[in-house]
Every structure is written in C-alpha cells, then in structure tokens.
Amino acid sequence: MKALAVLATMLGLVALLSWNQLDAQREGRGAQFVALNYALYRNEAFRYALGNGTSGEVPLASLALPAAWKPMREWRTRIEGGRCYVHGPATPAEAGKVRELFRGSYAVGWKADGHLSPSNPDGVRIALPAWIADGAVVSVISLD
C-alpha cells in the first residue's frame, strides 16, 4: 500500500512539473507570435517610409499588409526628423524575441531611460522621442 502511495505521489509531481513546462512553452510561443506579427508590420512600415518619406503618423490602412493580418498589439509608425520609428507595447519576453528575430540588430530594441536599449558595443545610445512609451519595442531607421 505504501508503494502505491509513493507511486501516486511521484506521478502527481511529474504531472505538476510537466504542467509548468507546458505553461513556459506556451508563453514562449506567444512571445514568438507577437514578434512575428511586429516584424511583418515593421517591414511594411519601413517599405512605406522609404517609398513615401512623408512626415507624421502612418495610418495602418496605408501599409500593404496581407488581408488576413491583424495587429496583436497597437503598433504605430511615425516619420519625424528624417527617421522612421516603428513602436508598440510589448513584454520584455516579446521585445527579446523581436531582437532575436532581427538577429540582435542595434536598430531594434526597447525604450529605456529615453534611449533605445541595448546600446551598441561602443556605448552609443540612440535617443528616442518622448511620444514613445518606456518599455515599448522600437525599430528605427534613418531616411536620409
């Protein structure tokens, strides 16, 4: 009887551990989906900015996104001062997945203390406008 109780306890522990791993995998996949959603939006926003170069907010309807594409976050594009900024709310895990997707590009990161983070290896930090929220995932390119 004791052996049966020990076996039942062990099975219960294995089930709990498996459930925690499943939750972690789901969270990782969710962050990956948000990163891919952002990447598609970002690429179309940059394509628009490079082709049009106007100033101000870029409406979602102006972008050539696939008909079935739906934003998973409130992504925004703004052209100002010769730069195009693509930004939106994201968790740290989602921002990390975005950087992974763009292979650690220093033009992609998140806003921290008014700058694009992480800084490049030389310590140069890109200042970001105040209208981008702290913690937002950000991509920036120069249009000049």
Tell me: the pLDDT tens digits for 66-114? 999 999 999 999 999 999 999 999 999 999 999 999 998 889 999 999 9
Which three-class secondary structure state does DSSP give residue 139? strand
> Whole-angstrom Cα distance, residue 119 to residue 126?
7
Mean pLDDT of the chain: 85
Total number of domains constituting the chain: 1
pLDDT at 17 over 60: no
Residue type, 97: K
Residues 6+ apart with CB under 8 A from 32: 97
Which pLDDT does position 121 carry in this prediction? 82
Torsion of CA 131, 65, 53, 141, to 10 degrees: 60
**Pairing relation of β-strands 76-80 and 137-142?**
unpaired
Which pLDDT does position 144 carry in this prediction? 82
Which pLDDT does position 106 carry in this prediction? 87
Of 26, 31, 24, the residue nearest 100 (C-alpha): 31
Domain CATH for 98: 3.30.450.360
How large is the average pLDDT for residues 45-56? 90
Preceding amide of 118 cis, omega within 30? yes
pLDDT at 19 over 50: no
Residue 91, token pair as written in the block? 């968790």
* Residue range(s) defining the domain that contains residue 25: 2-142
Which pLDDT does position 3 carry in this prediction? 57
| Banded model confidence at residue 28, pLDDT cuts 50, 70, 90 | low
> Whole-angstrom Cα distance, residue 55 to residue 53?
7
Higher pLDDT, 125 or 130: 130
